[in-house]
Amino acid sequence: MLAYYFKLAIRSFKRNRILTALMVLAIALGIGATMTTLTVYHVLSGDPIPQKSGKLFYPRLDPRPIPKNKSDDSDPEPPEQMTRYDAEALLRDHRGDRQAMMTAGLPTVAHPKTHRKLAPQARYTSADFFPMFDAPFRFGGPWSAADDATKAQVVVISSAFNDRMFGGENSVGRELAIGNPANGGEAPFRVIGVLAPWALHPKFFDMTSHGYGDMEDIYLPIATALDRKFSTMGSMSCWGEMGADGPVGLNAPCSWLQYWVELDSPQKVAAYREYLDNYSRAQKQSGRYQRAPNTRLHTVMDWLDVRKAVPSDVRLQMWLAFGFLAVCLLNTIGLLLAKFLRRSGEYGVRRALGASRRAIFLQCLVEASIVGIAGGVIGVLLAWFGTWLVRQQPDDYAQLVRLDLPMLLLAFALALIASLLSGALPAWRASRIAPAIQLKSQ
């Protein structure tokens, strides 16, 4: 029976080609706009590490002084990063299954053959960083906690950087001359690991800059990098006088480090929250903190919400696109209604010959579904073009916006659902036509 309804729909399309084209175009434009914005939202709101996002937590403390004028203390939220003193204290206490302190850096690296100075993106961190974030290794492995303690001159490099520096060979055991661009001093660092191609989108462990950028080229023990005064980069917030070591000094009143902890059970999460509060109380008793405990412990997805990983304009564009799709559906409903009612005589004859209301309704719904499928195909092409336009934008997430298989399937499903919804009312109206009245008018 469906095959028969399909033939009737094709005949109807041929009789009303312009009207059919308008309906298909309305569905296609709505689907194209909606899927373009939905794809952008899908990229930005996805879980970057679904296998562990429920076990990784971002703690926050509040070492800021209380302003003399309380009206100036307008932000109840603690700083988004940690001071060096607090990060090192939490790292020593080792209250999580794993923990890592880190920051971004920009040291110089001399090419082993040409000796040309390069400035790769670097991450200074501690040993647990790699197992915490499931970093895959192509050659070798990470450094150990003992290397952190002894400030060992070891380095882990990315696969792309290994290709650039060593032609893709197993470079474990080779040396790189790494230094501070400010003073030019370099030291030999032994390569102990080469990462396999690896990406986290967004790079949630450090959202202070380029959250959707590439992963770093080199990874160094943070104790070694700070000891050798390698240059750091990223946002920094200070609220007092600094010592001779500047804002990165141990006792500097500046928050600039990211700190993550891994906790594998709700009981450990609760215990860690209590630990953060007790640590804050102890710091207040010592005179270092002025505030009562003002702590946070965010999951990965909570932290992305806090950092607004999905920009507000992207959310707005998505809702506007859904609104545009609704307008397109209303137009389609009007066109289908006009088309079906124009054929009321045909439906009246079919009813008089024994066709049920259900048969008429199904016939009209099949016709609407074909319109939706055709609109969905064109809509996918428009969405593909729309995502290509997004990739031409300078935003750091733009290159990630691509229509993958799930989004393609969603596009067709959305087109089919939209066509069925838009065809339901016109089909119902057509099925309610009284055959006697139509036969008299023929």
Q: Is 306 exposed, middle or buried (0-12, 13-18, 19+ CB in 10 A)?
A: middle
Checking if the pLDDT of 426 tops 90, the result is no
pLDDT, tens only, 308-327: 888 777 888 888 888 988 88
pLDDT, tens only, 333-377: 888 777 776 766 666 666 666 667 777 778 777 877 888 788 888
pLDDT, tens only, 129-148: 999 999 999 999 999 999 99
Beta bridge partners of 299: 57
End-of-domain residue from the set 236, 260, 294 = 294
Please report whether residue 167 resides in a domain.
yes
C-alpha distances in Å from residue 297, one per residue of 78, 194, 260, 281? 11, 32, 10, 16
Give the whole-angstrom CA distance, residue 222 versus residue 224. 5
Of 53, 104, 27, nearest to 414 (Cα)?
A: 27
Token duo for residue 259: 């700190």
Same-domain pairing of 36 and 12? yes
How do beta strands 175-179 and 186-195 pair? Answer: antiparallel
The confidence score (pLDDT) of residue 282 equals 96
Spell out the residues 6+ positions from residue 305 whose beta carbon is closer than 8 angstroms to its own.
Answer: none
Please report whether residue 118 resides in a domain.
yes
Same-domain pairing of 356 and 402? yes
The confidence score (pLDDT) of residue 2 equals 63
Q: What is the pTM of this model?
A: 0.79
Same-domain pairing of 322 and 279? no
Same-domain pairing of 253 and 344? no
Same-domain pairing of 34 and 80? no
pLDDT band for position 435 (cuts 50, 70, 90): low
- Arithmetic mean of pLDDT, 401-430: 79
| Displacement of CA 419 from its chain's centroid (Å) | 31
Q: What share of the chain is helix, strand, coil (3-state, %, to 5)?
A: 50, 15, 35
| DSSP assignment of 178-199 | EE-TTT--EEEEEEEEEEPS--
Cβ atoms 100, 223 nearer than 8 A: no
Same-domain pairing of 192 and 215? yes
Please report whether residue 304 resides in a domain.
no
Question: For the ranges 56-60, 208-212, 313-317, 322-326, which has the lowest average pLDDT?
Answer: 208-212
Which three-class secondary structure state does DSSP give residue 36? Answer: helix
263 DSSP assignment: -
Same-domain pairing of 315 and 394? yes
Please report whether residue 373 resides in a domain.
yes
End-of-domain residue from the set 247, 263, 294 = 294
Please report whether residue 54 resides in a domain.
no
Beta bridge partners of 122: 105, 218
Spell out the residues 6+ positions from residue 211 whose beta carbon is closer than 8 angstroms to its own.
Answer: 202, 203, 204, 307, 309, 396, 397
Give the whole-angstrom CA distance, residue 349 versus residue 304. 61
Same-domain pairing of 181 and 282? yes
Cβ atoms 275, 267 nearer than 8 A: no
Same-domain pairing of 251 and 381? no
pLDDT, tens only, 389-398: 888 877 777 7
Token duo for residue 301: 């997805």
Peptide bond into 311 cis (omega under 30): no
Same-domain pairing of 278 and 320? no
Checking if the pLDDT of 6 tops 80, the result is no
Angle at which helix 344-352 crosses helix 357-391, to 10 degrees, equals 140
Same-domain pairing of 150 and 257? yes
Spell out the residues 6+ positions from residue 290 whose beta carbon is closer than 8 angstroms to its own.
Answer: 64, 65, 66, 284
Tell me the percentage of the chain whose pLDDT exceeds 90.
43
Which three-class secondary structure state does DSSP give residue 74? Answer: coil
Please report whether residue 299 resides in a domain.
no
Give me the torsion for CA of 58, 158, 226, 114, rounded to 10°: -160
For the chain, give the mean pLDDT: 86
Number of domains into which the chain is organized? 2
Same-domain pairing of 205 and 159? yes
**Residue, of 354 and 22, whose pLDDT is higher:** 22
pLDDT, tens only, 155-193: 999 999 999 999 999 999 999 999 886 665 789 999 999
Which three-class secondary structure state does DSSP give residue 404? Answer: coil
- Arithmetic mean of pLDDT, 224-245: 88
Checking if the pLDDT of 419 tops 90, the result is no
Q: Which domain holds residue 36?
A: 2-47+311-441
Please report whether residue 346 resides in a domain.
yes
End-of-domain residue from the set 233, 261, 294 = 294
Give the whole-angstrom CA distance, residue 297 versus residue 176. 38
Please report whether residue 302 resides in a domain.
no
Task: Of 5-19, 174-188, 416-430, give the range with the top mean pLDDT.
Answer: 174-188
